[in-house]
Amino acid sequence: MGNGASENEDDRNAYQLDREPDPSDSLRTFGAFVQAMREHAGYSRTEFGALVGYSKYTVESVEYGRRMPDRSFVEGADSATGNTGALKKAAKHLTRSDVGFAAWFRQWARLERIAVSLLTYECRVVPGLLQTEAYARAVFEGAVPVAPDDQLENFMAQRMERQRMLFERPTTPFDFIIEEHVFRRRFGTTEQMRELFDQVLELTALRNVTLQIVPLEGGLHGCLDGPLRLLEAPNGQRYGYSEGQQNGRLISDPKEVSLLYRRYDTLRSQALNAVYSRGLLERLRGEL
């Protein structure tokens, strides 16, 4: 019995090491402040969550410093604890760590924030920067092992937060090449599928975002080794990132990165151009 409990604890710890980065000091401090204010007001997490419009798991996640609270949470929490303004003031000093990122993705995520250009080839799922909330939730809920509710909310919050880059950095080019079968894979309801197509069409209409689709009849090509991300840093250095089962690899060797860029450029010439890709997406949406 004792051994079983120990093994379960080891499994949980290993999962957290892989999936849950350490929160920043400001998140921990703010979370402790929220907890103190909640307890002083006499609310349980369930009661407090009902007042601010979030689940008890989200409240717990914020209090433990695992989730960056959004504005509505802060305003609701401040209102529920007496409208003192203290939580609103404290929230101004929050700094985000890499909460919600898998351990192997954190270093790439930091580079992504400063990149002057980003290229993405995807053959498994719609890239995170283009996903709807429903699609992202379906991806996370289908993961094995199953994520606890609070961690699932962390992943969701971080995924949605990353998408702001497309709007906040209008002069940074974001280039996507995606296999057609990715968009043909169904999930959820027909309405959720339409929502996904609508979002991808909306986001890729931005002047700094380009989408090309590799059609089913496109045949074999040079990127069949798997999904690929590439970026250029402000100092001109280029990086690559590849990801597989429970692992990811940041690639900085100039020769290897150069090879990956050549593969990407070759695939770009084989994919449908942006206009035809958009037409294909609209046709797939109409077939739903």
When comparing pLDDT for 56 and 277, which is higher?
Answer: 277
Amino acid at 217: E
As a whole number, mean pLDDT of residues 55-76 equals 86
Question: Alpha helix locations (H) across the chain?
Answer: 2-19, 25-41, 45-52, 56-63, 71-80, 86-91, 106-114, 133-141, 149-162, 165-168, 180-184, 190-203, 254-270, 274-286
- The reported pLDDT for the residue numbered 16 is 34
Measure CA 174 to chain center. 15
Min mean pLDDT across 90-104, 110-124, 206-220 is at 90-104
What is the set of domains in the chain, with CATH numbers? 22-91 (1.10.260.40), 103-286 (3.30.870)
Q: Terminus-to-terminus CA distance in the chain, angstroms?
A: 52
As a whole number, mean pLDDT of residues 104-120 equals 86
- The reported pLDDT for the residue numbered 272 is 97
Percent of the chain at pLDDT above 70? Answer: 88
Percent of the chain at pLDDT above 90? Answer: 56
The rounded radius of gyration (Å) of the Cα atoms in the chain is: 21
Q: Left if phi > 0, otherwise alpha if psi is -120 to 50, otherwise beta: which for 219?
A: left
Measure CA 161 to chain center. 7
Residue 204 has pLDDT above 70, yes or no: yes
Report if pTM > 0.85: no
- The reported pLDDT for the residue numbered 96 is 55
What tens digit of pLDDT does each residue of 130-147 get? 999 899 999 888 888 887
What tens digit of pLDDT does each residue of 191-203 get? 999 999 999 999 9
What tens digit of pLDDT does each residue of 67-78 get? 778 888 999 999
- The reported pLDDT for the residue numbered 201 is 97
